Amino acid sequence: MLLPIYQIDAFTNRPFAGNPAAVCPLTEWLTAETMQAIAAENNLAETAFFVPRHGNEYEIRWFTPAVEVELCGHATLASAHVLYRHLNFQEPEIIFHSKSGPLRVNQAEAGMLTLDFPARPPHPIHHHPDGLLDGLRATPLQLLAGPDLVCVFATEAEVRALHPDMVHLAKVEYRAVIATAPGSGGVDFVSRFFGPRVGVPEDPVTGSAHTTLVPYWAERLGKTHFHARQVSARSGDLWCELRGDRVLMSGHAVTYLKGEIEVVG
């Protein structure tokens, strides 16, 4: 069986930056074991698979090299890019049905796509989970818990300087650890995302993390529109808005490769 595959750099307007995602459009679902094996073979932070429902609606699933995840921003952006750029999709909106509910993607200004995701506000916690300080090799000013553990630092330089010990960080009993701080030069806030527990030591640009970061920074800064930057080695930019219980995230995407994979059995 031959399956189409695309590799897309998401949340960037140039190749070799942003977050690379593999996208496999399907006509019907493969087994979870097969999709997990493909994702492991791709060895990217996420591989997205989608199948059509009807009209502008699709079902979507995402796999890291190690596990299936319930929400992924950059691979959803990449999937929408594949539909618009390569599969002749022409409707103004795509609706992806996922384990996290319906996710909408619209075309935006300047060639960007806008994701409409559920907001997942964090709440403060007052203890350091096992493995955190040894893992980060730094002490955050504040901790907040959502689906991920958010570690707030005073400066962008501190976030950029982090060099975590992934063995210790994998002991932290959250999906991932996010480091964040105020930004500079017109960027409202910066972040990095570490997910060794789910097979992603550092994710270059993480849309799902911003469903937690945007509500936090909205409350802290007293505003609802943000320019966010994930300051990984590849780096990427998101233009975000908190709109009620939803987070909108806009970004660019570019195609790196397209081809076929052969699946036996």
Task: Please identify which of the residues 33, 41, 46, 262 carries the catalytic annotation.
Answer: 46
Joined tokens for residue 29: 């679902």
**Amino acid identity, position 167:** V
- Strand 2-10 to strand 246-251: parallel, antiparallel, or no bridges (unpaired)? unpaired
Q: Is 93 a catalytic residue?
A: no
Is 42 in contact with 257 (CB distance < 8 Å)?
A: no
User: How far apart (Å, rounded) are the C-alpha atoms in residues 86 and 73?
Assistant: 19
Between vectors from CA 207 to CA 2 and to CA 32, what angle results, nearest 5°?
35
Q: List active site positions.
A: 46
